[in-house]
Structure 1
């Protein structure tokens, strides 16, 4: 039985870098840092351009490895290191061009080379952001130890930190970042740490990386005495994983016809159970003219004695990547690629990648706070030793001068900033206004100039402000002075000789004091009078409403309330206001109802030769009034081709209604149901999904403030005569979030089956709540099933149903059978992967609506060009792996 055991992460030694094939490529999306180098340089083998680390870190010292280790075989980038003898934590800050929510390969390399002439191998921790990535434990001065991870950051920057654990001084040789395709390596939770990446059949003294691999993954050789190597000079067309043609041009196969399989097995370090993601790359590379007519190659893939996938046949000179969409869990794995009884040829394997799941559970500091404090650092040119990495997390490495709040649920927030005696010059930094949770601010004993900004009085939680000992001038803002007078802020402004507490500054101190004593009571008196006046008006209008409501309907009461609101959005569209008699005429006395909901009934009508739909408020619907007001308010200020258009409204006594453009093709739910005799084809479904996603994306990102729909579902996606989809029904929508907030707590509303479970349990509303609901809609589009089945054939939730199908490996039966398999299957599986990501229980793993729009457009492109996809690639996503770890090996077959 041919086996190969992978025991630990790959060690890369400079001597291995002997043969690397070079082709012309650009390096867009690359960050390549030669740590400790004195000048930029280009690697003469790969052509990668390495820069010094001057722009990435503020601490550490540059060192050179000893001459005995700096041989002619060693790449130049390993001849220097950056060492960190001071501070416990030292962090590099990487800012990739594409920013957050993109997939990146991050690689950190270490070669000791006895740079400190101590011959003592250090051990220290490597952090990715606020979470421990791994422990760097060196056992040899000449080996190059590399750690690699695939990570999707939630911010526009990535911190890679070296942490001193008391077992030697941390150092680093090389730090690299490469942007990947967002639709390739995907994990349900956490990030993907490299365990092994192998080119089957590569010569022992070779590796493959850039420029053969445009993503600069490093492929090591995988050979075994029981295997033969086959190869081709023809180019293999890649798929979305972009396996290099050089890697795919070789493959291994058993060298004995009696051996029907290729076996690979490995154990995790320390036999600890871990989550693994596996990627197996196949391509048929035996030339057609070398095969006889009756020769075929068909294989099954087994993991730990269980059928994982198959049977299937590799495609000729086209890459196929077989992988799972959920991880396999265990400490020991054995893969067998066996030929089937129908196969006349032995199995092959071109390449394999293995990753472990690295959970990164600790939240980083609130993004707005981080941006604010980084801008403050830049504004004053601060070079404080430990102002590196995340300012608040982990809590053992909080920046000097900061205090942070931690509730164990939300990201940490900065609540105190002390920059006293820090040599600050210029004015008070405007970025302080973005520290919206700050309670204590100390800028004393610096050389600050200019006026005291008014925004300091508007920081909602500020309790202590110390500005003494500066050169501030002008007059203290009135708001800040008043808060100081009523002791809501403890204010210190002494030793600012040109700063006046009130106007006019020229008056004598005693006179100014008298004026101060006079001004405050007057302001208080005026404020008290206005308060009494407002209270009286409130009582008056309350009594008037009660009087009007006596014997009246609920609609009369809410109409009076609505009238009193003088809603400014409706005032802006007076020209769109219709009388009740006009509504009767437009609808022909409400002779045709086309819909009904909690708000009321929807009627068909004609207005100026245009078809319209009129939603009339039920006279008994108090909740409907609130929805009426919310929808009218939103639709009068937002306009988008994928949101239903508000034509006008009626507000006459108890008769209230909204007039919309008529969507002649009804809602998406009807089109996906068995009642529809004309099934939407796959291309039409994708176009509908794009339209709806674009409407929702506009609410999230195009509106100021952003809007959360809160009731995304297939019945709220309407189609016009051209099957253009528009998002409808905004009665439950709300503005969110306030600037600087990441979520809001609100009563749970929405429709069962589409509700975000996290929102339902915690009342914590975010834009990802809409994303979950839209993910359910995508599953309806894919499967043709309702969100919650209402008959014996469709019991349970569609997410549970899809998971149950995938767990059985029955992928083909996920797609709606009414499509009759007339679709590009890569397009279907890509949309399925997106839908499952949208409906992830972990909201941080859900994509944004901008990402959703991009992904669906890629699905449509694949469907629109089926012939191209048939020539280019095939990607197979597999169900959850079911393991039987008690078996020692595969049974005979």
Structure 2
């Protein structure tokens, strides 16, 4: 694949001459996006009948141009116009992907210079797919094609032109085509990469093949048979090609015209040289065969494919008459300067020489740059729209770092880039400060000074856990500075600048009017909460108790009201189990996507699982009837023979365990803030309070630990993994188990000897989790001298009275001393050796809520927030 052949596809792929005229309906297939860049109006391409849309409403930058008249006879009309980008370093098209999630896409960009600028000098510039380099454009007529599987959380693909100071970037046409997800499969090591096309050949063909002869709009170039091969053709119909109705067995849907021609080796081998590698890369090649010769009885063709006369790609290929057969290699490591040569050879049992109908050459492109975290992307995009910012904010906000948006600083650490600084000072901003800013949860520095901002200073700014500097000076803000912001300023945890806002009030007298409104507001809220609680209690009390134990239901197969999926559907949802999110005692957990584009986590029961059918049934039956904002939601299941799976909502921010260790999280990799830890403690307690007191009969989790506490996009904590859970007929019933269950370190010492389990077993586990949140220490520390439990570490530390030595040093002293002591005392009471001395979960929850900063504020907005949090926990619904 030498440099001289790097762009062999340029002329053959892009030339759509006007001498060919076909009459097709001017309607594009579903999911096709065809853009005539620089065009003034939509037009129908004479070559393929597809409608190409003008880009004038798709991109806010660039200039429309026309190639010179003398070049137009060589090109179809869609290549007569182009868009150039003399301004800005990076300019991007954003292509909406409206097909179902987990769909692959073919993307093709075409560039016809045509001396449009009269300089007679072809520009050289880079093309990016998303945030990573796709290739370099440097010829006066060039075409680049890629195949990609977008991030499941995104609904778009960016194609960006990057100025490298070697001429003005330009583009003539841009297309996107959805592909079957099973096509062009990457090895696990390459799953984050995308494929770039080197070339695609119709072996034995002479003319270019494209849509509609190829339903995916792949472009096939003719490949003449060489001296050591002979041309073979047929007019017979090829079963399974895209021109017949029986092509469901072949997802490649190859064009019949391509399959009807082939080159047959004159000897026993068909050599296929790709040239010399211009760099190191991972190579993928797809070979397409169809037997188009009828043979005498007993004659058959048996072939093998070998790389560089050493590496066997496939041992035996036998073809059926008039039926396509495709062989795609796995990723092949090719070194810089290495010769790349394939041989398609007859095996020792073959009575006929090998043939080849077509082949495709692709290579995996590295993707070192992470995308911006989806929540940050949505936030900054909404801010741009809210303030109608005209600055050249194109493509991904953070990545690549050299092209990050002006005014932004990011932490570009895999797997996501996070916005940590935003400076919109003197940007002519008008209006209020929208709540969208609260989504930037990793931001440290926010400067909105010297604009025309109006309205109140929003209190949600205090909920930004990492915010260290807030500058709102020089605006027209009014009202009272929120007490919570002032308190953070006094504590030294926030640098606050608000000078130059004449209508803004800092002093206590400004609070008088608001304080008069508080009793009235609280009276209304209290009345509403009382009515709702009363209604909830009435509903719960009128329900009939369920059977003593879910274990008593031994139905097989599983009888549930939830959505049941077949194993084949699970394979499709997970794209053949392509992305592993994690692994536990149950088995591996895979990333997936439902037909409605909902991203999910699919937990498959492994044949070697420490848990089994019993735990599978318990977890599925429990989660189908449990519904609470702090419990992970089960969306469906699969129970098909040996194939068992549970399909959950996708928890984008991983587990609490990962965050406490600062590893493998999708959110900010910095240490969890003190406020964040308090809120997680409240969330977990709310979920546990629902299990213990909101469910009839009560449910004991039995394996509560940070690894089973998951965090969604808003960092809301939810309890997961109910395979070891049990229900009891009465509130205070204990039950002995012959098999001890749970995780060392979180297992109640009182049950360790006798196996008795009740609510206080979960309370003990919760106490250990509270200690981990405060101290940052694991439940068990393994040392050369043996295992060391967190209680053995914290008890003597408490005696010293030095809270600074107890609280996680990674917080850098940014915590509230009173609430820290309160949580430690609460955790110690939860882990009392005498079960009766441990508090009820309702008491724990109430104490934890008192630690939240919102309870220390006197502002009406914050008090409403406190009431809302309380009502959500106390009127939790009973199981359906």
Cα distance, 1:389–1:685 mapped onto 2, change above 3 Å: closer
2:111 is matched with which residue? 110
- The residue correspondences of 1:403-482 to structure 2 (distance < 5 A) are 403-406=409-412, 408-482=413-487
Retained in 2: the 8 A contact 1:36–1:80? yes
Among 657, 675, 690, which residue is 1:746 paired with? 657
Residue-by-residue CA offset, 1:652-674 (whole Å, 9 max, x unaligned): xxxxxx6434336699xxxxxxx
User: Residue 137 of structure 2: SS of its match in structure 1?
Assistant: strand
Shift of 1:16: 5.4
Deviations 1:15-58 (A, max 9, x none): 45466877667421222222222222121111122122234332
Structure 2 partner of 1:383: 390
* Pairs within 5 Å for 1:389-788: 389-406=395-412, 408-501=413-506, 505=510, 659-663=550-554, 713-714=606-607, 715=609, 727=620, 742-744=653-655, 746=657
Q: Counterpart of 1:390 in 2: which secondary structure?
A: coil
Structure with larger RCO (C-alpha < 8 A, sep 6+): 1
- Equivalent residue in structure 2 for 1:367, among 369, 374, 377: 374
Q: Deviations over 1:794-831 (max 9, x none)?
A: xxxxxxxxxxxxxxxxxxxxxxxxxxxxxxxxxxxxxx
Deviation at 1:241, TM superposition (A): 3.4
After TM superposition, list the pairs within 5 Å mapping 1:850-869 onto structure 2: none
C-alpha distance in structure 2 between counterparts of 1:738 and 1:255, whole Å: 54
**Is 1:33–1:50's contact at 8 Å kept on the other side of the alignment?**
yes
**Aligned equivalents of 2:304, 2:590: Cα separation in 1:** 46
> Matches of 2:296 and 2:259 in 1, distance apart?
21
- Relative distance call for 1:161 and 1:268 in structure 2 (3 A) is farther
SS, match of residue 419 in structure 2:
strand
| d(CA) in 2 for partners of 1:455, 1:220 | 59
| Equivalent residue number for residue 260 of structure 2 | 250
Aligned to 1:11: 10
Cα distance in structure 1, aligned partners of 2:418 and 2:263:
57
Q: Which stretch has the larger CA shift, 692-701 or 221-230?
A: 692-701
TM-aligned CA distance change 1:729 to 1:248, over 3 Å: farther
Distance 1:688 1:6, change over 3 A: closer
Deviations 1:407-438 (A, max 9, x none): x4442211121222222223222211111111
* Inter-CA distance 665–439: structure 2 relative to 1 (3 Å threshold): same
Q: What is the CA–CA distance in structure 2 between the aligned matches of 1:231 and 1:403, rounded to whole Å?
A: 62
| SS in structure 2 of the partner of residue 376 of structure 1 | helix
Distance in structure 2 (CA, Å) of the matches to 1:295 and 1:82: 57
1:648 shift after superposition: 5.8
The aligned counterpart of 1:32 is 34
Q: Which residue pairs with 2:285 in the alignment? A: 278
Distance 1:707 1:176 in 2: 29
* Residues 295-310 of structure 1: pairs in structure 2 closer than 5 A: 295-305=299-309, 306-310=311-315
User: Residues 803-818 of structure 1 correspond to what in structure 2 (within 5 A)?
Assistant: none
| Count of residue pairs brought into register by the alignment | 594
Distance in 1 (CA, whole Å) between partners of 2:569 and 2:146 is 38
Preserved CA contact (<8 Å) 1:298 1:312 = yes
Whether contact under 8 Å (1:281, 1:349) holds in the other structure is yes
Following superposition, the deviation at residue 710 of structure 1 comes to: 8.9
Aligned to 2:95: 94
In structure 1, what is the Cα distance between the partners aligned to 2:86 and 2:271? 47
Give how far 1:230 is off: 1.0
User: What's the secondary structure of 2:402's corresponding residue?
Assistant: helix
Distance 1:429 1:571 in 2: 40
* Worse-matched range after superposition: 206-215 or 223-232: 223-232
Aligned counterpart, 1:192: 195
Match of 2:269 among 247, 251, 261: 261
Q: 1:35 to 1:712 in 2, by over 3 A?
A: same
Rate the CA distance shift 1:253–1:570 in 2: closer, same or farther, 3 A: farther
Structure 2: distance between partners of 1:201 and 1:401: 56
Q: 1:69 aligns with which of 50, 63, 71?
A: 71
CA distance in 2: counterparts of 1:365 and 1:334, whole angstroms:
40
SS state of the match for residue 11, structure 1? helix
**Taking structure 1 as reference, are residues 572 and 321 closer, same or farther at Cα in structure 2, changes over 3 Å only?**
farther
Distance 2:323 2:35 in 1: 35
Q: Tell which deviates more after alignment, 495-504 or 170-179.
A: 495-504
Q: Report the counterpart of residue 148 of structure 1 in structure 2.
A: 146
Kindly indicate whether the alpha-carbon contact (under 8 Å) linking 1:32 and 1:177 is maintained by their aligned counterparts in 2. yes
Question: What is the 5 A alignment of 1:186-225?
Answer: 186-188=185-187, 189=190, 190-203=193-206, 206-225=207-226
> What RMSD, in angstroms, separates the aligned Cα atoms of the two structures?
4.8
CA–CA distance in structure 2, aligned partners of residues 473 and 734 of structure 1: 41
SS in 1 for 2:430: coil
Contact 1:268 1:274 in 2 (8 A): no
Q: Secondary structure at the match of 1:369?
A: helix
1:392 CA drift (Å): 1.3
The alignment partner of 1:660 has SS state of helix
Deviates more, 1:482-491 or 1:104-113: 482-491
State the Cα distance separating 1:255 from its structure 2 match: 7.0
Q: Aligned equivalents of 2:157 and 2:572: distance in 1? A: 31
CA 451–174 in structure 1, closer or farther in 2 if over 3 Å, else same: same
Which deviates more from structure 2 when the two are superposed, residues 339-348 or residues 53-62? 339-348
> For 1:740 and 1:294, how far apart are their aligned partners in 2?
59
Residue of 55, 58, 64 corresponding to 1:56: 58
Question: Structure 1 residues 153 and 741, CA, compared in 2 at 3 Å: closer, same or farther?
Answer: closer
C-alpha change, 1:663 and 1:707, in structure 2 (3 Å) is: farther
- Cα distance in 2 between the residues matched to 1:284 and 1:16: 31
Q: Deviations over 1:554-598 (max 9, x none)?
A: xxxxxxxxxxxxxxx9999889999xxxxxxxxxxxxxxxxxxxx
Which residue matches 2:362?
355
Pairing partner for 1:336 from 312, 331, 343:
343
Find out whether 1:319 has 2:327 as its counterpart. Answer: no
**1:420-462 deviation digits (Å, cap 9, x = unpaired):** 2222223222211111111222222323333332211222222
> How many Å separate the matches in 1 of 2:441 and 2:573?
36
1:41 to 40, 43, 66: 43
SS in 1 for 2:431: coil
Deviation at 1:402, TM superposition (A): 1.1
| CA distance, structure 2, for counterparts of residue 746 and residue 161 of structure 1 | 38
3-state DSSP class of the match of 2:10?
A: coil
- For 1:604, the equivalent position in structure 2 comes to none
TM score, norm. by length of structure 1: 0.58
Whether the aligned pair in 1 keeps the contact of 2:85 and 2:168 (CA below 8 Å) is yes
User: Structure 1 residues 82 and 743, CA, compared in 2 at 3 Å: closer, same or farther?
Assistant: same
What residue is the counterpart of 2:180 in the other structure?
A: 181
For 2:164, the equivalent position in structure 1 comes to 165
Q: Report Cα offsets for 1:226-279 as digits up to 9, x if no partner.
A: 3213122414314443333334432323374xx233221112443x34321111
Q: CA deviation at 1:10?
A: 1.3
Structure 1 residue corresponding to 2:231, chosen from 224, 228, 236? 228
Unaligned runs of 5+ in 1: 517-568, 579-646, 650-657, 668-682, 750-755, 769-773, 775-893
Q: Deviations over 1:360-402 (max 9, x none)?
A: 12212211111110111122221202x1111112221221111
Distance 1:9 1:728 in 2: 59
Listed as ranges, the matches of 1:799-878 within 5 Å are none
Name 1:778's counterpart in structure 2.
Answer: none
Paired residues of 2:589 and 2:601 also in contact (CA < 8 A): no
Q: CA deviation at 1:74?
A: 0.9
Say if 1:339 and 1:345, in contact at 8 Å, map to a contact too: yes
Residues in 1 aligned to 2:43 and 2:133: alpha-carbon distance in whole angstroms: 31
Q: What's the TM-score, normalizing by structure 2?
A: 0.59
